Amino acid sequence: MSVLYADVQWQPVLDAVQQAKQIHIIAHVSPDADTIGSQLAVYHALKAMGKSVVMHNRDIAPYICRYLPAVELITHGEIPDGIACSDVVIAVDAGSLGRLGVDPSYFEGKTLINIDHHASNTQYGSINVIDARYCATGAMIYDLLQYLNIPLDASSAAAIYAAVLTDTASFRLASVSADVHRMTADLIDAGADVELAAQSIYRSHKPARFELLKYALDSLDICHDGRTAWISIAHHLYEKTGLCGEDSEGFIDYARSIEGVDIAVFIREEKPQEWKVSFRAKSPCDVGVVAGKLGGGGHQYAAGCTLFGTLDKVQKEIKHALVDMLSL
Ligand SMILES: [Mn+2]
């Protein structure tokens, strides 16, 4: 095993962890497999160090993560007193404080460690380890484990594998280097079950997801001389199918997979008049910049924001923000 990046400053994290009485590890709202996988891998590592550790998020973990060891120990909702008494909080994969879905006063008097790979990260922690070279926050935890001298066990390997597999769109993004594959080989050697991961993440969808997908594909609109592809789902369609946002995870890939499309946009109405917008880009477009203009954030190839109003108004706002990027 070797680290992906040897120049990352992990020592402040180690110092804070060693002094901690109880550590609360927290994932971002609407959690994905990178944030949950990172949370679990940190949990297993700190447990191995003999630390007192708890995991609590605002939202429930997605169903694709249900197979990961210790996922059942993650609680969600209002933060109970037994967790609020933690003196150190570790946030994983959250680009801003708001992404944690917790009142900022919660962090007063606590050491907040912010570990993330989003270039747009706002450095909200008392300790910040932010590095956009990593393909996933889970890959950062792979390096952290080595810094802490904690051997990879099957549980942490499975968690990191889920994080990397999903955040690289199944090893299809430009962020996937030969070193990422070498790391993945280590994860498999340590016991990450590739077949179980594929079964849980890609082959466990509810039939209703495909009802929703029909509506999504029906909305497909190709604009800007074929350079942008748009998919939208209104709130009432989630209600009609009995599904929620996580059930439409991956729909944007249909828009991205179209020949000639540089930017894919997926707009879903989470609550009436509240739209979660996701972007995917091909080089040289940078949707992190576009999302930033709209009050969101992300990476060059994947980013998002939240907009309010009618679908028509939201689409116009996005088109306005996209103009400069499409002149590239
Ligand atoms: Mn991530």
Collect the ranges in the chain with pLDDT lower than 70: 328
Q: CATH 3.10.310.30: which residues of the chain?
A: 208-326
CB 164 within 8 A of CB 140: no
pLDDT at position 299: 84
Q: What is the distance in A from the centroid of ligand 1 to the CA of 31?
A: 10
Over residues 193-206, the pLDDT tens digits come to 999 999 999 999 99
Q: What is the distance in A from the centroid of ligand 1 to the CA of 136?
A: 5
- C-alpha distances out from residue 101 to 9, 28, 61, 76, 79, Å: 27, 7, 14, 11, 11
Q: What is the distance in A from the centroid of ligand 1 to the CA of 142?
A: 14
Q: What is the distance in A from the centroid of ligand 1 to the CA of 135?
A: 7
Regarding pTM above 0.85, the answer is yes
CATH T-level assignment (fold) for domain 11-202: inorganic pyrophosphatase (n-terminal core) (3.90.1640)
Q: What is the distance in A from the centroid of ligand 1 to the CA of 68?
A: 17
Q: What is the distance in A from the centroid of ligand 1 to the CA of 229?
A: 23
Over residues 74-126, the pLDDT tens digits come to 999 999 999 999 999 999 999 999 999 999 999 999 999 999 999 889 999 99
CATH of domain 208-326: 3.10.310.30
pLDDT at position 120: 86
Q: What is the distance in A from the centroid of ligand 1 to the CA of 225?
A: 31
Q: Cis bond leading into 284, ω under 30°? A: yes
pLDDT at position 111: 98
Q: What is the distance in A from the centroid of ligand 1 to the CA of 117?
A: 6
Q: What is the distance in A from the centroid of ligand 1 to the CA of 42?
A: 15
**204: which 2 tokens?**
């466990």
**299: which 2 tokens?**
């990476």
Q: What is the distance in A from the centroid of ligand 1 to the CA of 18?
A: 26
How far apart (Å, rounded) are the C-alpha atoms in residues 48 and 215? 47
| All residues with CB under 5 Å from ion ligand 1 | 34, 93, 137, 167
